[in-house]
Amino acid sequence: MGFRSLCLIGITLSVLQVGCVHRRMTVVSDPPEALVRVDGQDIGYTPASIDFTYYGTREVQLLKDGYETQTQLVNIPAPWYQRFPLDFFSDNFLGTHTTDQRQYFFRLQPRRTDQAADVIERGRALRSEAMHGQ
């Protein structure tokens, strides 16, 4: 085998060893089975997972009957191997598949029913004042 053949084989093998980074974020809540919205899109009930392409800030919202709706901005920072210029090599020439799994935990607070009762009572009082001309 000549030098050209060896170079061609080496280039072919290096191209075949393509790397890949799989990015996945999981949202867990206490209590479970809360509806999860990421950037306004429903993704399911906790524990819920979603694949993502880009790092950065996401708006995560959790909704569950009987609990306060919780909205938070979650920052997903890029790991060192996904920062420029290393990201090109880790995405294309790493030779293995890498999983970047992130998990975020939210504790939901029970909805305070006393506030709703106070609002109703205040509304009744205002209606009563309006009817009596006070």
In one-letter notation, the amino acid at residue 80 is W
- How does pLDDT run across 84-103, given as a tens digit for each residue? 776 666 666 666 667 789 99
Query: 111 and 42 in contact (C-beta within 8 Å)?
Result: no
Domain around 67: 3-122
Query: pTM (2 decimals)?
Result: 0.64
Q: Which of 85, 77, 87 is nearest to 55 (CA)?
A: 77
Across the chain, which has 134 residues, the per-10-residue mean pLDDT values are: 61 54 90 95 94 90 94 88 66 68 94 74 84 72
**79 within some domain:** yes
SS3 content of the chain, % helix, strand, coil (to 5): 35, 40, 30
Backbone angles phi, psi at 124, to 5 degrees: -65, -40
CATH code at position 43:
2.60.40
**114 within some domain:** yes
Facing residues of 99 across strands? Answer: 22
